Amino acid sequence: MADKTRLPQPLGMLIDRKQPITFSFENKTYSGYAGDTVASALAASNQWLLSRSFKYHRPRGVLTMAGQDANSMVQLHSDPNALADRVEITPDLEVMAQNYTGSLSRDRGARLGLLAKFLPVAFYYKAFFKPRGMWEKWAPLIRKKAGLGQINQNYQPEYFDKQYQFYDVAVIGAGPAGLCAALAAADAGAAVLLVDENAQLGGSLNYARSDLEGTQSRQMREALVARVEANVNIVAMTDATCNGWFADNWLPVIRAKRLYKVRAKQTIMCVGAIEQPAVFHNNDLPGVLLSSAALRLINLYAVRPGQSAVVLTGNNDGYTAVLDLVDAGVDVKLIVDLRDAPAYDAIAEHVCGLGIPVKIGHAVYAAQPDATGLHLGSVDVREIVSRGHCATRGEIIACDTLCMSVGYTPTYQLICQAGGQLSYDDDSAMFTLNQCPDNYYIAGSVNSLWTLEAVVADAERAAIIATNALGMSSRQIPDLIVDVQPQSPNFSWPIFAHPKGKEFVDFDEDLQIADIINATRDGYEHIQLVKRYSTCGMGPSQGRHSALTTARLVADATQRTVAQTGVTTARPPFSAEHLAHSAGRSFYPARRSNMHHRHLESGAQMLQAGAWYRPAFYGDAAARTQCINREVDNVRNNVGLVDVSTLGGIEVRGADAGEFLNRFYTFNFLKQPVGKARYALLTNEAGVIIDDGVACRFGEHHYYVTATTGGVDRVYQSMLKWNAQWRLDIDITNVTSAYAGVNIAGPRAREVLSKLVTDIDMSAVAFPYMCIREGSVAGIPARLIRVGFVGELGFEVHVPQYAGEALWDALIEAGQGQSIKPFGIEAQRVLRLEKGHIIIGQDTDAMSNPAELQMGWAVSKLKAFFVGSRTLKELGKIPLKRCLVGFVVDDPNAPIPLESHLVVDGDKMVGRVTSCNFSPTLKKPIGLAYVPPTHADAGSSFTIKSSGGSLVVAQVVDLPFYDAGNLRQEL
Amino acid sequence: MSVVISPTQTLRRSQLYRRHRQLGADFAQFGDSIAVDHYGDDEVSQARVLGLADLSTLPRIGFKGLGTPVWADSCGVKQPAQPNWATLQGDNTLVARLSSNELLLASNLTGSSKLIETLATATRAHRVYALPRGDSHSWLSLCGEQAANTLAKVCAIDFRAQYFTNLQIAQTSLAKINAVIVRTDIGDNLNYAIFSDSCSLEYLWDSLLDAMSEYRGRAIGLQALRDCATL
């Protein structure tokens, strides 16, 4: 049975009548078809009211049917501000209207409209800024009244991602110009991306007739689309929005849940033009819509726009709309032609012969609502007596639909983003675009061409220029295309002020004619200032329907031309996009040592240090302190094993390797014997400590230098930078990932390691402290370094990365009899603190120099140069301002200070704590802190402002806290 | 009776071996290396659509320094004329020229390369420095007709076959980590060798499989790559 809510086929090209769908709007069930938008399905059910306006809560309905206006904003379950004329219905879709109090049809907020005269432009700025503090009281009320939809705070993130795409030519817009440009470029051999925001290729060919019979557009569309779909060089993306333009034709194209990052060698913008509304009293009532919206409803969705209509036109396109309305069974009561001397084309001539009354030189002066107050009931048609002024009396025409066809603006946003200039031609009353950047072209109606012949020729011309630039063709570039139009499609002044106002310039922000003019009278004459003062163009539709009228009004009010007035700056995004499109599928690199899974299997609590995952400690997170203390005790008394794979490793090889290190680090390395390791402290040009490690000399021309986990990349880059200047004969290679490493530490470390080493004499005499050896451990080629970071007998064992897990397994097995246990970096921090060793970045900051840290021993006084030496020499001439000292807290009842707690002297801040832990070995809190030099001597005391403001007295002690004679690490 | 080969029976283990096991991998010996032979049936078909193989245990080595080109030449290494191009030696060992003075060598799909073995122990000339590429870099193989589309989700380079030709090299950022990507087609099958930070292997593996899911890509064993080479 035929659906009486829909027009007969072939109308409704986007809907599938075999697939009925039910959904709800405002908790009421509606039906539609697959392919319907929310707005079209509601319109088919005679539900025209979609939303309430932002400021006055006025009823709003379909305006464009193109997703270009805020009238159609609705609330979906997880998606506020969805466009009802873009969102396709799906089974059981729940849709709610937005921005009302009470119900959509009885919105209590609409009472604000009665106060409109007391709410002038910039009302907020004028009304709420005094007395002081008043805004804080008003703001919550105002914000409650305003607003666009609600965020679903239980939203579960969905999968959004990104993809790069590369094309010779990107064609944005798949109307007749876009289709022809894409085909011409593709036929020349270019790889073409064709993007269109609509569900179907064809643009205006889908709904707008170009000949009397109404066949030309359809046939042309079918032919062009068939050719596009058959062309292997063209990728066509529908339902996709090019949302900006960035340098070198970088185009963000959004489709569904993906952001395509398109790189195009050439871009052709065929983005068309946006039909503009007329400005008159109550021009925002549901039932007042653009002619193009009516045509879309009829042709795309088989929905009749109303029962009885008036067509307000300032061009011949209004007459074309009349034909479709009549064919759809709409009773067209009257054609109101703004022009006093219309130049008809063939279609208009034909329409004039249909017997429909036509009033030339007339305007719709006002629209009036029906009895419900929610829809158009009639229009007041009056003769135009002068520009923008009508006769005092007119004729009231009852109708439920008013179609407006008064002109267009080019869709200039993406072109202006690229540097295109917008000009205004007074003769045609139209904006035009020029001065596009290189490799960027416009074609079609965005280029102010309107006949199909001109549009096609212009598109092919752009494609020729583009493919010539690509070297894919060498065709003669045709002359600039000139359109043959009897009259401009833009009527010069479709703006009619009314004593009661409510002639809306900007529907988004409820801005009326007086608001714009008053903004200029308040001194905000520049269009950019008018925008910010009035908020005109700042709403969701970003001035698509207000920019032209605003420019005309401001120009008129300031006695300038529209060209001089211009429009506000167009910035990306072109249309609203989900934050998820920018944020979606971010990458978070993660580095894991070869032993990572062994840590997990041993119950490690992992933490992330930069990109690295490292074991913090092993055991129950709830027993953190006990676990750490147990690990410390085991290292002090037996033997522990810690993963040091994350430590940086850099090979410096070549004849000048020693000279390089000598210049790069503070110590002397020229005389470092082969087979020895030496502490390496790194300062920058400002003498600030930026890293440390150990330099191991494995050969006359071969050093293996360790660096901190977080600092190795910076050290490596710094090495490359300096040697680019010094040009020493060396090679520098970052081998951090090439080596896995452990530190086996504790009095029984040698005992364990000796079981697995057969080719190195492990005795204390043969392999003393700060010596290095190469050999094998458990059959794995290894570099061994005797170090003492944790203050015990210790060996760092560095092996090829692939064998890290095998090494770990072998050591754990070999150490069972010696009570070997793994320990994490938290225990390591405590152990090194007991030994008084600093951690770069924790105990240093952006000002720390060696003298402050009492590390003058690590700086050679004999070298002529090292990086930072000159600054340190100068710093050495002035007194120290602070010193890093070791301290203990003897009061067992005092809270343990934390890192960054302040050192105070009365009410003055004089320093800060950098490290502090309870020492399981010393059985009291120990730490490092910056204090004034006057408090730096052992035996001095200072005060720490600890948690909750409690004051803790700390005693300065000599470092290290543990094993001052270094006997244990040199066992 | 077939011998079950464990990925942990040698010292050299891919960091992915647990993931391979979870995917039901059967491992096999390739030269001195143990790698995934296959996970399931008909992986050749999968390789033609989109497959990801872990070759991280297979041999590779690198050299750099001013003396490298001449020395490598004297050792019989056929080198590309320009940086960022690769060549295949007679035994299909890959030689990638990463800069004027830097080479990366990777074995063929049998897991053995006499050339790499020879160069690893050869006396090096002045200003020739060995690089532990087998340790510092993981090695993945992304293959199939959807490989370029997959890479487009994680990398800003245009890897489409008509624009990124066989044996071309890109040294770039892949899913925010550094990578050397070499197009090395296997037979007529599109293939990209990806060399990246060995410690980031699990991250990269997961990132690529995630990007591949849209195209029904999945992990494949080394045997499928070898079969592609012989088809």
The beta strands (E) that lie in A406-456 are given as: 408-410, 421-425, 430-434, 440-442
pLDDT band at residue A146 under the 50/70/90 scheme? low
Which of A10-14, A133-137, B94-98 comes out lowest in average pLDDT? A133-137
Residues A456-465: tens digit of each pLDDT: 999 999 999 9
Closest listed residue to residue A942, CA positions, set A934, A509, A145: A934
**In this structure, which amino acid lies at residue B191?**
N
Chain B residues close to A780, C-beta within 8 Å: 11
Q: Residue A484: its pLDDT value, please? A: 81
pLDDT at A132 over 90: no
Half-sphere exposure of A683 (CA within 13 A, CB side): 28
pLDDT at A155 over 90: no
Q: Residue A3: its pLDDT value, please? A: 79
| Mean per-residue pLDDT, A314-336 | 97
Looking at chain A, the whole-number percentage of residues with pLDDT higher than 90 is 89
Instruction: Give yes or no for a contact between A539 and A70, defined as CB atoms under 8 angstroms apart.
Output: yes
Instruction: Give yes or no for a contact between A782 and A773, defined as CB atoms under 8 angstroms apart.
Output: no
Terminal Cα distance for chain B, rounded: 28
The B-side interface with A (CB below 8 A) comprises: 8, 11-15, 18, 56-57, 64-65, 127, 129, 131-132, 134-137, 149, 152-158, 160, 163, 175-177, 197-200, 202-203, 207
Asked if the Cβ–Cβ distance from A164 to B131 is below 8 Å, we say no
Taking the C-alpha atoms of residue A759 and residue A555, their distance in angstroms, rounded to an integer, is 91
Q: For residue B153, give the chain A residue with the closest CA.
A: A163
User: Which residues lie closer than 8 Å to A458 by C-beta, 6 or more apart?
Assistant: A177, A443, A444, A447, A449, A481
Instruction: Give yes or no for a contact between A470 and A190, defined as CB atoms under 8 angstroms apart.
Output: yes
Q: Give the other-Cβ count within 10 Å of B211's Cβ.
A: 25
Instruction: Report residue A783 CA to chain centroid gap.
Output: 46
Instruction: Give yes or no for a contact between A315 and A407, defined as CB atoms under 8 angstroms apart.
Output: yes
CA distances from A311 to A131, A288, A953 (A): 51, 10, 87
Beta pairing class for A73-76 and A731-734: unpaired
Looking at chain A, the whole-number percentage of residues with pLDDT higher than 70 is 99
Q: Does A630 touch chain B if contact means CB atoms closer than 8 Å?
A: no
Q: Which residues of A336-363 are buried (b: 16+ CB within 10 A; e: fewer)?
A: bbbbeebebbebbeebbeeebebbeebb
Which of B56, B136, B153 lies closest to A738 in CB terms? Answer: B136
CA distances from B217 to A179, A339, A405, B22, B43 (A): 34, 63, 52, 17, 11
Question: Residue A309 pairs with which residues in a beta bridge?
Answer: A332, A401
Chain A residues close to B153, C-beta within 8 Å: 161-164, 585
Taking the C-alpha atoms of residue A649 and residue B112, their distance in angstroms, rounded to an integer, is 29
**In this structure, which amino acid lies at residue A612?**
W
Q: Give the other-Cβ count within 10 Å of A949's Cβ.
A: 6
pLDDT at B1 over 60: no
Residues A730-754: tens digit of each pLDDT: 999 999 999 999 999 999 999 999 9
Asked if the Cβ–Cβ distance from A589 to B13 is below 8 Å, we say no
| Mean per-residue pLDDT, A16-40 | 97
Owner of token pair 């890192």: A899
Phi–psi pair at A109, nearest 5 degrees: -65, -15
Q: Residue A147: its pLDDT value, please? A: 63
Q: Residue A857: its pLDDT value, please? A: 94
Taking the C-alpha atoms of residue B224 and residue B47, their distance in angstroms, rounded to an integer, is 7
Asked if the Cβ–Cβ distance from B202 to A780 is below 8 Å, we say no
Instruction: Report residue A188 CA to chain centroid gap.
Output: 36
Q: Residue A128: its pLDDT value, please? A: 78
Chain A residues close to B149, C-beta within 8 Å: 163
Q: Residue A620: its pLDDT value, please? A: 97
Residue A818 is given by DSSP the state G
CA distances from A234 to A174, A195, A226, A259, B94 (A): 12, 10, 12, 19, 36
Q: Residue A607: its pLDDT value, please? A: 96
pLDDT band at residue A93 under the 50/70/90 scheme? very high
Assess: ipTM above 0.90: yes
Q: Residue A143: its pLDDT value, please? A: 76
Asked if the Cβ–Cβ distance from A735 to B15 is below 8 Å, we say no
Q: Residue A2: its pLDDT value, please? A: 65
Residues A193-213: tens digit of each pLDDT: 999 999 999 999 999 999 999
Asked if the Cβ–Cβ distance from B136 to A780 is below 8 Å, we say no
Question: Residue B212 pairs with which residues in a beta bridge?
Answer: none
pLDDT at B3 over 80: no
Counting every residue written for chain A, the total comes to 971
Instruction: Give yes or no for a contact between A306 and A378, defined as CB atoms under 8 angstroms apart.
Output: no
Asked if the Cβ–Cβ distance from B203 to A645 is below 8 Å, we say no
Average pLDDT, chain A: 95
Half-sphere exposure of A55 (CA within 13 A, CB side): 25
Asked if the Cβ–Cβ distance from A164 to B129 is below 8 Å, we say no
CA distances from A366 to A483, A497, A587 (A): 34, 9, 56
DSSP letters spanning A614-683: EEEEES-GGGHHHHHHHHHHHHHHSEEEEE-TTSEEEEEESTTHHHHHHHHSSS--TTPPTTBEEEEEEE
Taking the C-alpha atoms of residue A641 and residue A628, their distance in angstroms, rounded to an integer, is 13
pLDDT band at residue A1 under the 50/70/90 scheme? low
pLDDT band at residue A586 under the 50/70/90 scheme? confident
CA distances from A617 to A626, A830, B100 (A): 10, 12, 46
Which of A157-166, A479-488, A887-896 comes out lowest in average pLDDT? A479-488
- Kindly report the nearest CA distance between residue A235 and chain B, in angstroms: 14
Which CATH superfamily does the domain covering B1-231 fall into?
Probable tRNA modification gtpase trme; domain 1 (3.30.1360.120)
Asked if the Cβ–Cβ distance from B200 to A589 is below 8 Å, we say yes
Element (H, E) at A95: strand A94-95
Which of A164, A653, A731 lies closest to B156 in CB terms? Answer: A164
pLDDT at A165 over 70: yes
Q: Residue A117: its pLDDT value, please? A: 76
Q: Does A811 touch chain B if contact means CB atoms closer than 8 Å?
A: no
Q: Residue B32: its pLDDT value, please? A: 87
Residues A55-82: tens digit of each pLDDT: 899 999 999 999 999 999 999 998 999 9
Residue A66 is given by DSSP the state S
Interface test with B, best of A647, A650, A737 (most B CBs within 10 A): A737
Asked if the Cβ–Cβ distance from A738 to B64 is below 8 Å, we say no
Question: Residue B53 pairs with which residues in a beta bridge?
Answer: B141
Residues A274-283: tens digit of each pLDDT: 999 999 999 9
Residue A89 is given by DSSP the state P
Two tokens, residue B164: 């990124």
Which of A44-48, A79-83, A115-119, A926-930 comes out lowest in average pLDDT? A115-119
Chain A residues close to B64, C-beta within 8 Å: 731, 733
Which of A101-115, A139-153, A651-665, A820-834 comes out lowest in average pLDDT? A139-153
Alpha helices in A649-778 (DSSP H): 657-664, 712-726, 749-754
Q: Which residues of B120-133 are buried (b: 16+ CB within 10 A; e: fewer)?
A: eeeebbebbbbbbb
Taking the C-alpha atoms of residue A935 and residue A164, their distance in angstroms, rounded to an integer, is 60
Is A572 strand, coil or helix? coil
Chain B residues close to A597, C-beta within 8 Å: 18
Q: For residue B125, give the chain A residue with the closest CA.
A: A654
Chain B residues close to A650, C-beta within 8 Å: none
Chains A and B form CB pairs within 8 A to the count of 103
Residues A677-721: tens digit of each pLDDT: 999 999 999 999 999 999 999 999 999 999 999 999 999 999 999
Q: Give the other-Cβ count within 10 Å of A850's Cβ.
A: 22
For residue A887, is it left (φ>0), alpha (ψ between -120 and 50) or beta?
beta
Closest listed residue to residue B7, CA positions, set B49, B32, B45, B35: B35
Which of A162, A592, A733 lies closest to B153 in CB terms? Answer: A162
**In this structure, which amino acid lies at residue A841?**
G
Taking the C-alpha atoms of residue A464 and residue A459, their distance in angstroms, rounded to an integer, is 9
pLDDT at A767 over 70: yes
Q: Does A738 touch chain B if contact means CB atoms closer than 8 Å?
A: yes
Asked if the Cβ–Cβ distance from B202 to A590 is below 8 Å, we say yes
- Kindly report the nearest CA distance between residue B10 and chain A, in angstroms: 9
Q: Does A590 touch chain B if contact means CB atoms closer than 8 Å?
A: yes
Taking the C-alpha atoms of residue A434 and residue A425, their distance in angstroms, rounded to an integer, is 12
